[in-house]
DNA sequence: CTCAAGGTAGCAATCGCTTGCAGTAGATTT
DNA sequence: AAATCTACTGCAAGCGATTGCTACCTTGAG
């Protein structure tokens, strides 16, 4: 199966074995159409038998293309990203690209540093939810083909999940359940998504004429949620929008610790719909992101960018998923 | 900051600029000690000013080393892996290695396929919790330097988390709480860890003289846990060991659905201590894996393997973390 | 029967960097 | 002062693939 374990199989070994020149072997793989059918098949057969694998370094050197794309995430341990990584990886492999994963560990400077390090090594870059300011990003990216996920940067192709409609729907849902006083537990200022979500909720609250108190910023993490819980209790809101599911889980724990029940005392809405959202108790009402599409679109856009096409900005809609963390307000509380 | 945006900076541009040969520039980077101090500094300064980044493809072609290691995981969306990925990544970057992430999507054949695809592209490979049978693995790995994480394969360096002691401690803990009838919710047969954990629990049960009923195999996932719950209810065990935290969470949900309470009706122990374990309600008593060490050790072993050293097999101990999912047996149940 | 056109193959240069070997100049030894 | 080191530096040959250009061999047309 693995073929002769001689030395190392190159196009030259194959050429010799087949009695043709190396160029022909090369072409048999890269432009099969221009080599004679018989010859091509003979070459492919021998290559398979010998277990030939083209040397990517050599090819990269000759063509200037590395066959590799970078994927920069702010924090791989944040459960939002693994599914995205997988989706992108699968979409990339269709294009015959390998994916170099880069984790910035949630620190903005690390992002630009990492980009600087890999820019010479990849053909393109996908930057997911970057924390760096636009200017820094633009600076380091330079002329490297890149697409941004979950953030809009002027002049760059991007694909974002638009949660506005779903958050509005969530608001309406809560309103119907009788809630009139809401809290917005804000995410990190550096996060584009946080600003976008906050904007959507503010817009809805204004239109619906309900009371909205903003709390935070809190970290986009379980810990951040734990910190947010007392703040929420200090307000008189009966329903809250957390920046994301992770934070919502922290809030859940914080409220439970304080002896409050969800959804009986408070209703809570998360965002992203990570696995956690359906496994916590109570399960979270949240906005489900179309992760698969996000990935395929990112690769598509990157492909376009590498061909020099104009930057396109795609927005995909999140959808509201109702679960157990939202319920009606106890009668006494509604009419104060 | 980014330097002249002329064409592409190579060692030749720098050499010309500095009035030295390309070899000297090359050496100024790869073996700084053997080039004259003044010259070296001049070169470094110019390189920095021009924004020089060595071309990895060229270097790889010349040296035969790619400066890249592969990291194969069975399922990146399983929350056990992201922290491991990060740990490995950080350890790798110290060695100046990039990490190529490969996700097998939980299918064994995909693993061997992926290995085949990247073997020519990386200097070494880290295989985490592989699902393929030993023989297949050995076959595809061949002479590629590789280290296995969380599984022991004859003749290969490996680093595993040994949960035996911690699981035994968990058993004793439950025993002290009054439990006498236990269930083992087995993980997938293909998983080495599942077999190892099962063995440890069997050993303890035998030594402690308690009743142990084995259920499963179940999938190592939330869904698997949901399926395990009815089986657990069908047994008369009062305490259960789940294969991992994910499965334990599923069991938790299944029991809750059936109106059973943890830890009042049943006690439950997980394994791995993923983020989920502390966020579910009730939080999970589990075995905490030393993920960071796992990562650094893996890189260390890989380094050794690449130098041709003998395969070393390291085992690191997991530690028992007590949380809310284990409690005493209600008096009526203990003495039947 | 000769010539042009098409379809295939081969030659050789090139991508950017590493490295064994040889050469040079100054320092040290005798 | 001659001989021997030392410490650098440069030359040039690769590493394995791609690709523009040239050359060859058929065919078909004139």
Q: What is the pLDDT of residue B198?
A: 97
CB B64 within 8 A of CB B106: no
Model confidence at B236, pLDDT cuts 50, 70, 90, reads: very high
Share of chain A above pLDDT 70, in %: 96
Mean pLDDT within A37-58? 94
* Among B240, B253, B318, B243, residue whose Cα is nearest residue B282: B253
According to DSSP, residue B31 is labeled -
Does B103 fall in a domain?
yes
From CA B280, how far away is CA B325, in angstroms rounded? 10
Distance B36 CA to D6 C1' (A): 13
Closest-lying nucleotide for B23 based on CA to C1': D10
Q: Which of B56, B89, B281 sits opposite A281 (nearest CB)?
A: B281
CATH number of the domain that A31 lies in? Answer: 1.10.260
Q: Same structural domain for residues A108 and A228?
A: no
Q: Which of A60, A85, A281 sits opposite B280 (nearest CB)?
A: A281
Q: For strand D, is any atom closer than 7 Å to the CB of A55?
A: yes
* Among B129, B117, B151, B22, residue whose Cα is nearest residue B73: B129
From CA A208, how far away is CA A181, in angstroms rounded? 11
Q: Same structural domain for residues B211 and B231?
A: yes
Residue A5 has pLDDT above 60, yes or no: no
| Percent of chain B as helix, strand, coil, to the nearest 5 | 45, 15, 35
Does A175 fall in a domain?
yes
Q: Which nucleotides of strand D lie within 7 A of protein CB?
A: 7-12, 14-20
From CA B290, how far away is CA B192, in angstroms rounded? 18
Q: What is the pLDDT of residue B1?
A: 39
Q: Same structural domain for residues B283 and B197?
A: yes
The 10s digit of each residue's pLDDT in B120-178 is 899 999 999 998 999 999 999 998 999 999 999 999 999 999 999 999 999 999 999 99
Phi, psi angles (nearest 5°) of residue B288: -85, 125
CB A104 within 8 A of CB A114: yes
Does B295 fall in a domain?
yes
Q: Same structural domain for residues B243 and B329?
A: yes
Mean pLDDT of chain A: 92
Distance A61 CA to C4 C1' (A): 39
Q: Which residue of A has its CA nearest to B68?
A: A100
Query: Is residue A217 reached through a cis peptide bond, with omega within 30 degrees of 0 on the bond before it?
Result: yes
Beta strand A158-162 pairing with A313-317? parallel
CB B279 to CB A1 under 8 A?
no
Model confidence at A332, pLDDT cuts 50, 70, 90, reads: low
Q: Same structural domain for residues A96 and A232?
A: no
Taking the alpha carbons of B199, B204, B205, B207 in that order, is the dihedral positive or negative? Answer: positive
Q: For strand D, is any atom closer than 7 Å to the CB of B22?
A: yes
* Min distance A180 CA to chain B CA atoms (Å): 29
CB B82 to CB A83 under 8 A?
no
Does B225 fall in a domain?
yes
Q: What is the pLDDT of residue B279?
A: 82
Mean pLDDT within A123-137? 94
Residue A254 has pLDDT above 50, yes or no: yes
Q: Same structural domain for residues A172 and A261?
A: yes
Q: What is the pLDDT of residue B70?
A: 97
Q: Which of A5, A61, A281 sits opposite B58 (nearest CB)?
A: A61
**Concatenated DSSP letters for B230-298?**
HHHHHS--SEEEESSHHHHHHHHHHHHHTT--TTTT-EEE-SB--HHHHHSSSPPBEEEP-HHHHHHHH
Q: Same structural domain for residues B140 and B263?
A: no
Does A180 fall in a domain?
yes
From CA B127, how far away is CA B327, in angstroms rounded? 37
Residue with tokens 């490996």: B158
A331 against A244, higher pLDDT = A244
Map residue A248 onto helix, strand or coil. helix
Locate B151 and state its tokens: 């599984």
* Min distance A74 CA to chain B CA atoms (Å): 11
Mean pLDDT within A32-57? 94
Closest-lying nucleotide for B21 based on CA to C1': D10
Q: What is the pLDDT of residue B331?
A: 64
Q: What is the pLDDT of residue B281?
A: 82
The 10s digit of each residue's pLDDT in B214-229 is 998 999 889 999 999 9
Mean pLDDT within A38-59? 94
Residue A80 has pLDDT above 70, yes or no: yes
From CA B313, how far away is CA B149, in angstroms rounded? 10
Q: How far does chain A reach from its first CA to its final CA, in angstroms?
A: 77
Which helix (H) or strand (E) segment holds residue B119: the answer is: none
Q: What is the pLDDT of residue A301?
A: 97
With a CB cutoff of 8 Å and minimum separation 6, the contacts of A5 are B142, B143
Find how far residue B152's CA is from the centre of its chain. 13
Does A6 fall in a domain?
no
Residue A17 has pLDDT above 60, yes or no: yes
Model confidence at A40, pLDDT cuts 50, 70, 90, reads: very high
Mean pLDDT within A193-208? 96
From CA B162, how far away is CA B319, in angstroms rounded? 9
Q: What is the pLDDT of residue A335?
A: 36
Q: Same structural domain for residues B73 and B153?
A: yes
Model confidence at B293, pLDDT cuts 50, 70, 90, reads: very high
Residue with tokens 């020089």: B52
* Min distance A175 CA to chain B CA atoms (Å): 28
The 10s digit of each residue's pLDDT in A152-180 is 999 999 999 999 999 999 999 999 999 99
Q: For strand C, is any atom closer than 7 Å to the CB of A275?
A: no
Residue A1 has pLDDT above 60, yes or no: no
Domain that holds residue A32: 11-54
Residue B7 has pLDDT above 70, yes or no: no
Taking the alpha carbons of A214, A84, B293, B68 in that order, is the dihedral positive or negative? Answer: negative
Mean pLDDT within B57-79? 95
Q: What is the pLDDT of residue B280?
A: 84
Strands (E), chain A: 68-73, 98-103, 124-128, 146-149, 158-162, 181-185, 211-215, 239-242, 267-269, 286-288, 313-317, 319-321
In chain A, residues with a C-beta closer than 8 Å to the C-beta of B114 are: none
Model confidence at B334, pLDDT cuts 50, 70, 90, reads: very low
Mean pLDDT of chain B: 92
Q: Same structural domain for residues A92 and A185?
A: no
Closest-lying nucleotide for B35 based on CA to C1': D8
Does B6 fall in a domain?
no
* Among B46, B40, B37, residue whose Cα is nearest residue B16: B46
Ramachandran assignment for A101, one of left (phi > 0), alpha (psi -120 to 50 degrees), beta (any other): beta
Q: What is the count of structural domains for chain B?
A: 3
Beta strand B286-288 pairing with B319-321? antiparallel
Q: Same structural domain for residues B268 and B180?
A: yes
Does A59 fall in a domain?
no
The 10s digit of each residue's pLDDT in A91-110 is 999 999 999 999 998 899 99
Q: Same structural domain for residues A178 and A154?
A: no
CATH number of the domain that A80 lies in? Answer: 3.40.50.2300
Q: Which of B85, B100, B119 sits opposite A98 (nearest CB)?
A: B100
Model confidence at B329, pLDDT cuts 50, 70, 90, reads: confident
Locate A267 and state its tokens: 């209703």
Q: Which nucleotides of strand C lie within 7 A of protein CB?
A: 7-12, 14-20
From CA A18, how far away is CA A31, in angstroms rounded? 18
Q: Same structural domain for residues A245 and A310?
A: no
With a CB cutoff of 8 Å and minimum separation 6, the contacts of B7 are none
Map residue B12 onto helix, strand or coil. helix
Residue B301 has pLDDT above 50, yes or no: yes
Q: What is the pLDDT of residue A278?
A: 87
Size of interface A-B (CB pairs under 8 A): 125
Mean pLDDT within A9-23? 94
CB B217 within 8 A of CB B186: yes
Share of chain B above pLDDT 70, in %: 96
Residue A336 has pLDDT above 80, yes or no: no
Q: Which residue of B has its CA nearest to A249?
A: B279
């Amino acid at each position: 199966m693995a073929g002769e374990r001689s030395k190392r199989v190159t196009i030259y070994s194959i050429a010799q074995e087949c009695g043709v020149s190396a160029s022909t072997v090369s072409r048999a793989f890269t432009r099969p159409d221009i080599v004679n059918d018989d010859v091509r098949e003979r070459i492919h057969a021998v290559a398979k038998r010998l277990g030939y694998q083209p040397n990517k370094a050599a090819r990269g050197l000759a063509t200037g293309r590395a066959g590799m794309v970078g994927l920069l995430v702010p924090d791989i341990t944040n459960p939002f990203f693994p599914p995205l990584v997988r989706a992108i990886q699968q979409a990339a492999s269709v294009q015959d690209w390998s994916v170099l994963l880069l984790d910035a560990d949630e620190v903005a400077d690390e992002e630009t540093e990492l980009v600087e390090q890999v820019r010479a090594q990849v053909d393109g870059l996908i930057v997911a939810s970057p924390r760096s300011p636009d200017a820094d990003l633009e600076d380091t990216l330079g002329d490297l083909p890149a697409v941004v996920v979950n953030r809009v940067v002027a002049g760059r192709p991007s694909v974002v999940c638009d949660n506005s409609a779903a958050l509005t729907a969530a608001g309406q849902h809560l309103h119907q359940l009788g809630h009139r006083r809401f809290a917005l537990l804000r995410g990190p200022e550096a996060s584009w998504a946080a600003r976008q979500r906050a904007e959507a909720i503010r817009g809805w609250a204004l239109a619906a004429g309900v009371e909205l108190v903003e709390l935070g910023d809190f970290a986009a993490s379980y810990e951040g949620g734990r910190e947010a819980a007392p703040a929420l209790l200090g307000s008189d809101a009966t329903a809250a929008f957390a920046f994301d599911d992770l934070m919502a889980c922290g809030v859940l724990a914080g409220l439970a610790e304080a002896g409050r029940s969800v959804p009986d005392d408070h209703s809570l809405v998360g965002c992203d719909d990570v696995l956690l959202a359906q496994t916590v108790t109570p399960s979270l009402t949240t906005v489900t992101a179309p992760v698969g599409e996000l990935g395929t679109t990112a690769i598509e856009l990157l492909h376009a960018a590498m061909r020099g096409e104009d930057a396109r900005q795609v927005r995909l809609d999140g959808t509201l998923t109702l679960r157990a963390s939202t319920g009606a307000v106890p009668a006494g509380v509604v009419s104060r």
